Amino acid sequence: MLVVDEHRIFAESLATALTAEQDVEAAAVGSLPAAHQLLERAPFDVLLLDAGMADGVEGEGSLLASAQERLPALRAVMLAAYDDPKVAAQALSAGASGWVAKDSSLARLLQVVRGVLRDETHVPAALLTGVLRELSRDRRHRTEHQRLVESLTPRELEVLRCMLAGLGRKAVAERLYLSPHTVRTHMQNVLGKLGVHSTLAAVALARRAGVTPAD
C-alpha cells in the first residue's frame, strides 16, 4: 500500500509500522507529485491518503482520480486528523472507500484496509449521519444542475462542452463552423440559462451536472 501524507515523517512512520505486519508492504511519500510518480511506476492495492490534501481528492486531475483510472482495483482510505462530514462525503463521492482517524490504532487501520479490500465501505458511526446528510444535499444540487443543463438547446450544449474542454471563443467557432459573434451569443445564452456570470462558473456547474467535455 502507499501512504501519502503532507507530514512525511508521519507517512514514513506509518509505512514502517505497516510493513512490520505479516504480508504487508508499504511505501510512503510526503507530496502529491511524488505520489503521482510512484503510482505510475508501481501497482498498489491500497492508497492511504491524507484527508487534508484537498488536491489529492477532488477534481479530474486529483491523485485519487488518476490513481483509480490507472489502477481500477485500487482502494482508497482517507487518513483524517479530525472528522469532517463534508470532506468525508466529497472523498466518498470521489471514490474513496474508507475514512479513519490518524490517531487510530494500527489494528483499527488494518481492519479498515482489509474491509475495503473486500469491497466494503468503512465510515465511523459517529460520522455517518453527517456524511449521509452531505451526500443527500449534493444529490439535490446535482439534480438542480442537471435540470438547468437540460434547458439548453443542442447547439448551446455543444458550446458548453467545448467550454468544458477549455476552448476559447475563436476555437469554438472554428470547431462548430460558426461565426465568433454567434458563438458569443450562444455563450451568453448558456450563462443566462445556467444562472451564472462567468465561464468558470458555467464549467464548474456543468461538471457537477455530469456534462462531459468535447472530444
pLDDT digits (tens, 9 = 90+) for 10-60: 999 999 999 999 889 999 999 999 998 998 888 899 999 999 887 777 665
Range of the domain at 182: 151-208
The region, left, alpha or beta by phi > 0 then psi within -120 to 50, assigned to residue 82 is beta
Residue 171 lies in a domain: yes
Grade residue 100 by pLDDT with cuts at 50, 70 and 90.
very high
Q: What is the pLDDT of residues 151-202, one digit of tens each?
A: 999 999 999 999 999 899 999 999 999 999 999 999 999 999 999 998 988 9
Dist CA 67 CA 40 (whole Å): 8
Same domain (yes/no): 71, 10: yes
CATH number of the domain residue 50 falls in:
3.40.50.2300
Instruction: Tell me the pTM.
Output: 0.67
Exposure string of 29-67, with b = 16+ CB inside 10 Å and e = fewer, is bbebeebbebbeeeebebbbbbbbbeebbeeeebbbbbb
Tell me, yes or no, whether 120 lies in a domain.
yes
Q: What is the mean pLDDT of residues 115-132?
A: 92
